[in-house]
Amino acid sequence: MNLWDHWYRLDGKTPVLCKSDEEAISAMRSDRHVGDTKVGDIWVSTVFLCMDHGFGRGSDDEDYNPVLFETMIFGGPHDQEYCERYCTWDEAVRGHREACKVAFGYVPYSACHKGKESFIESVVNNMLEEQDG
C-alpha cells in the first residue's frame, strides 16, 4: 500500500486520486475552500480535505465514495461542535449553505456566491434548495 493511496487533489471540482507525494503536497498547498462565510464573530468554513476521511473503509465496494470535504462552524453557540463531511463538491456546497442557516439563521450572499457559480446560478440554486427544503 502506498502512503498516498487515500490522498486526493481537485481537478476543477472533481477529486482525483494522487499518484505521487508531489501531487499530494501540491493539493495540500492549494486553495481548498469550497465555502468561507463570516458574519460578525461566526465563521462557516467548508474545505476539501485532500485525504479520504472515510479512510478507505468500504473501498473494496465499487460504489465507495471517499469522504473528502468538511464543513465546520467556528464561534457562536455551535463553535467547533458542528462538523459535517461529504463525498462530493456539490454535497459540500449544499452542506455549506445548510451550516450557514444553522450558524446565522439565513444564507448570506457570500455563501451563495462560493463554489465558482455565477451570481445567477447561485441565486437560482439557493431558491430551488429552499423550495425543496
Q: How far is 126 from 16, CA to CA, in rounded Å?
A: 27
More confident of the two residues 90 and 120: 90
- Read off the pLDDT of residues 10-61 as tens digits, 9 standing for 90 and up: 999 999 999 888 888 888 888 888 999 999 999 999 999 998 887 666 556 6
Task: Copy the grid coordinates of residue 70.
Answer: 468538511
More confident of the two residues 11 and 113: 11
**How many residues are present in the chain?**
133
More confident of the two residues 57 and 101: 101
The pTM assigned to this predicted structure is 0.78
- Read off the pLDDT of residues 76-99 as tens digits, 9 standing for 90 and up: 999 999 999 999 999 999 999 999
Split at pLDDT 50, 70, 90, the class of 100 is very high
Sequence ranges of the domains in the chain: 31-132
CA-CA distances (angstroms) from residue 129 to 19, 33, 90, 97? 36, 21, 12, 9
Note the pLDDT of residue 95: 96
Spatial CA neighbour of 49 closest among 10, 75, 11: 10
